[in-house]
Amino acid sequence: MNTVLAPIKMLPAYRFGQATPWGSDALKHLFGRNLPDKRTGESLEVSALYGLSSRDEEGYTLPELIKKHGENLVGRFVNKAFPLLLKLVSARELLSVQVHPDDTYAQEHENKLGKTEAWIILDCDEGAELVFGVKEGTNKTELKEASLQGSAVESLLERVQVKPGDVFLINAGTLHAIGSGVVLYEIQQSSDITYRFYDWERVDKDGNKRPLHLKKALDVVDVEAKPEALPKKSITLARTLLVKSPYFVTESLYDCSKEPLPSFAGSFGMLTALSAAALCYDNKTMELVKGQTVFLPSKGYPLKVTGKKLLLSYPPLQS
């Protein structure tokens, strides 16, 4: 049945506590979230990951919603793995230095999708940094030798200072780490594959270090990957392109009340309100609180949105 669907408010799944020892409670202060732990590192806003799926307000998980609504919800992805994962990430401490494989390596070794991702800095401490790639001239042999010596690898890591609004594309194969005091929006391929390369010699309360995945990390690392903040490009007065990759597109929106959002026929969209906002469709209005994420179905109503600060992500639209 070809049914037109309304936008769906999503409730996130959280990763917290021992799963994210580096996490913080910043999402409580920024968005008024009722967090499960003061070390809540990830809010999975739109997720179909097993055990970490986001839900609608009636409690249906995203995979259940896809099964229920099919092509009307996700278009051409109805009989495929759900392709994207949208998170808010909050770091009190440095995350481990890690790297993700591309699709070819991931499918061969993990039977999963690879992971390219993008970060949009929402909030950060003064002087906050990311680790992004390795210093120019470093080769893989030098990187391997340093990694076997533990902290020796720190001198080879490239760091970049960040500020709110900065945008970074982290292609598969790029060594990276989120710095302390950073809150960011992360759009990525729907994959949970992470190869931990270095963890700053941290130990838990029992003196144990978290395991590393050096062999696979060194297999997939690209020492030529360099940090680069992406330039923003105006699409219209109300829409600005932030990221365009083979896997996802992300725009920032500023009061689109006078123009409809793009059609997601054959695909879907994910809208996150970073300020109070409202979605208008079918003579109805859906009020959005700051921090709310909404799923925009493939077979949906024409939409207009009011609000001064929103982010919209979707798979690249087919021509």
Amino acid at 175: L
**Is 196 designated active site?**
yes
How is the beta sheet containing 167-170 ordered, strand by strand? 13-16, 40-46, 84-91, 182-189, 117-124, 167-170
Can you tell me the distance from the alpha carbon of 23 to that of 44, in angstroms, rounded to the nearest whole number? 14
- List, in sequence order, every residue forming a beta bridge with 129; answer none if it has no partner: 161
Torsion of CA 247, 19, 92, 145, to 10 degrees: -70
Spell out where 111-223 has E strands.
117-124, 129-134, 157-161, 167-170, 176-178, 182-189, 195-198
Q: Which of the following is catalytic: 92, 196, 210, 239? A: 196
What is the rounded distance in angstroms from the CA atom of residue 239 to the CA atom of residue 233?
9
**3 state SS of 148:** coil
DSSP state letter for 300: B
E strand or H helix at 141:
helix 140-147
* Angstrom distance (rounded) from CA 305 to CA 270: 13
Q: Pinpoint the alpha helices (H) of 154-310.
A: 214-220
CA distance 171 to 102: 8
Q: Which residues of 57-77 are buried (b: 16+ CB within 10 A; e: fewer)?
A: eeebbbeebbeebbbbbbbeb
What is the Cα gyration radius of the chain? 20
The catalytic site residues sit at 196
